[in-house]
Amino acid sequence: MGGYVKRVIEMLPKLSEEEVRRLFKSVASENSLLDSIIESLPTGLVIVDKKWKILQKNKAANRFLFSGGVDESKSENEPIWNLISEEEIADFISRTAADDKSNVSEEFTTTCSDGSVRFLSVTIMSFVHQTEISGNIIKIDDVTQKRTQDVLLRRMENMAGLTNLAAGMAHEIKNPLGAISIHIQLIQRAIKKAREGDGILPEKKFLEEHLDVVNQEIDGLNKLVMDFLFAVRPVKAELTLSNPENIIKNITDFFTPEFNRSNVDVKTDFVAEKKRILIDDKLFREVLINIAQNAFAAVKSKFEECSEDSPSDEKEMTGRIVFSTFIKDDKYIVAISDNGCGMDSETASRIFEPYFTTKANGTGLGMTMAYKIIKEFGGEIQVKSEKGEGTVFSIILPVPQTEKKLLA
C-alpha cells in the first residue's frame, strides 16, 4: 500500500488536470466501497489509536457497544472505555490497555432494550500500518446463536444419555426381579403343598431363607432406583471462582494414609501460576474422589502382592497416583494419572457410558456423573489408558478472563 501511494505521488506532476481529477475520483470511489463493506459487516469493528481514541467504527459496533449513541465531541478526547455503555466490556478494554496486551478475547452477556439476552465475543488485536503498530482493532461478534445451539446440543446429549440410562436400568432390574419371582414361587408352592396335604406349613427356617433373599433383592432394587434418580436429576452447579488446587490438596491429604498402607504413593504437581476457575467446589470434589478411588482400585489390583500388613520399614511404594495441574491453550487442566492395570481401548471408550462397569459391585454411574458435572462446568473430561501400564484422566476447564460470576 505504501509503495502504491509513493508511485501515485511521483506520477502526479506528470498528469494533466483531468487525469488528476479522475485519479482522485477513483480513489474516493474505492474508499467509499471499502467503507460500505465495513459498514455492512455483521461483526462490529472499532479502530482506535495508541491512546485508545476512536478513529473509525461501523454500525454493528454502534449497536453492540454504544447503545445510547456517541457524543462525537467526546470521542475525539476520551478513550473508548469512557464511551461504552456496557460496563463489563469497558472494564475489559481498560484493563487490556493498562496491561498493554493484545490478541485477547472474552465473552460477555448483555441485555438489549427489549429485554432479550445476547452473548458477545470481544477480541482486541493490534492495528499494524506500514509495519508499525498504530493502535488496536476491537472486534465484536454476536455469538448468541452459537451459545443457543450449544444449549440445544447439550439437551440432546442429555436426552440420549437418559435413553441409555433407562435401557441400562431395565437391564439391571431384570435380574433381581427374576430372583424375587423365583423365591416367591418356591414359598407359594410350599404353602400350596401344605394346604393340599397334611396342612403343616414349611419350616420357619425355609421361609426365612427365601424371604431374606427377597429382601436383599428389594434392597438392591432400591439402590438401583436411587442411583438412577441421582443420575437423571439435573446437575445444579453453583459456580464460583475457586482454586482447584486447594480441593485437590484436601483430597490427597485425606486419602494418603489409606493409600500408603497399600503401598500406593500419592503425589501432587501444581502449576506455578495460581488460577481461580469457575467450579462448584462440592461437585468438583465428588468428581476427584470418584477418579481417585478408581485409580486406587486399579493400582491395588496390579500390585496386590504388596501386603497391607507388611512392616512400614520394609514397604516400597510400588503404586503411584499423581494429581497435576497445568495451563495449555487458555485451558486449566487437572490430570490424574496412575500406574495401575490400565484399560484396553474398548473399555476406555465406554468408561463414561451409564451402567458400564468393570467392578463386581460397581453401579456404572460414577464416571457418568463425573462427565455430566464437568460438562456443566463448561469443560471436558478425557481418558487415556494402556493395558498393564496405567491410566490418565484429564479434566479440561476454561480459564475465565475476568473474575466474574458465570451467568447461566
Q: Which residue is it, cell 498493554? A: 100
Burial of 390 (0-12, 13-18, 19+ CB in 10 A): buried
Please check whether residues 311 and 289 belong to one and the same domain: yes
How many C-beta neighbours within 10 Å does residue 307 have?
A: 11
What is the span of the domain harbouring residue 202? 149-232
Please give the pLDDT value at position 313: 47
Count of other CB atoms within 10 angstroms of residue 369 = 21
Together in a domain, 165 and 47? no
Q: Are 252 and 391 found together in one domain?
A: yes
Residues 345 and 277 in one domain: yes
359 and 343: one domain? yes
Q: Where a domain ends, among 94, 113, 142?
A: 142
Q: What is the pLDDT along the chain (408 residues), one digit of tens a residue?
A: 455 555 555 655 665 666 666 666 665 566 666 667 777 788 888 888 889 998 888 888 888 888 666 666 666 778 989 888 788 888 999 988 988 887 888 888 887 656 667 888 899 988 887 777 788 989 988 888 877 777 677 666 666 666 666 666 676 777 788 888 888 888 888 888 877 776 676 777 888 888 888 888 888 787 777 767 666 666 778 888 889 999 999 999 999 999 998 889 999 999 877 788 889 999 999 999 999 999 999 998 887 744 444 444 444 568 999 999 998 888 899 999 999 999 998 889 888 877 777 766 666 678 888 998 998 898 999 999 999 899 999 999 988 754 333 333
Separation CA 137–CA 124 (nearest Å): 6
| CB burial of residue 403 (10 Å; 0-12, 13-18, 19+) | exposed
Other beta carbons within 10 angstroms of residue 15's beta carbon come to 13
C-alpha cell at 68: 445510547
Alpha helices in 233-332 (DSSP H): 244-261, 281-302
Please report the pLDDT score of residue 23 as a whole number. 60
223 and 267, same structural domain?
A: no
Question: Do the domain assignments include residue 408?
Answer: no
Same domain, 171 and 123: no
- The Cβ-side half-sphere exposure at 389, using a 13 Å CA radius, reads 7
* Spatial distance between the Cα atoms of 42 and 18, rounded to a whole number of angstroms: 39
Residue 3 lies in a domain: no
User: Quick one: which of 398, 356, 345 has its CA closest to 231?
Assistant: 356
Same domain, 159 and 115: no
Q: Are residues 303 and 326 in the same domain?
A: yes
User: Which of 142, 177, 201 is where one domain is finished?
Assistant: 142
- Residue 132's H or E segment, with its range, is strand 132-142
Residue 321 lies in a domain: yes
Question: Does residue 18 sit within a domain?
Answer: no
Report the pLDDT value the prediction gives residue 8, as an integer from 0 to 100: 55
Same domain, 278 and 342: yes
The distance in angstroms from the start CA to the end CA of the chain is 47
- CATH number for the domain including 85? 3.30.450.20
Residue that terminates a domain, selected from 142, 163, 191: 142
Regarding whether 208 and 251 lie in a shared domain, the answer is no
Query: Do the domain assignments include residue 20?
Result: no
Provide the domain count of the chain: 3
Q: Select from 352, 291, 283 the least CA-distant residue to 323.
A: 291
| Distance between CA atoms of residues 240 and 279, nearest Å | 6
Q: Is residue 32 part of a domain?
A: no
Q: What does the block give as the cell for 237?
A: 452447579
pLDDT given at position 255: 93
Residue 95 CB-half CA count within 13 A: 12
Q: Looking at 302-389, which runs of residues are DSSP E strands?
A: 319-328, 331-338, 380-386
164: CATH: 1.10.287
User: Mapping DSSP to helix (H, G, I), strand (E, B) and coil, where does residue 71 land?
Assistant: coil
Check: CB of residue 303 under 8 Å from CB of residue 319. Answer: yes
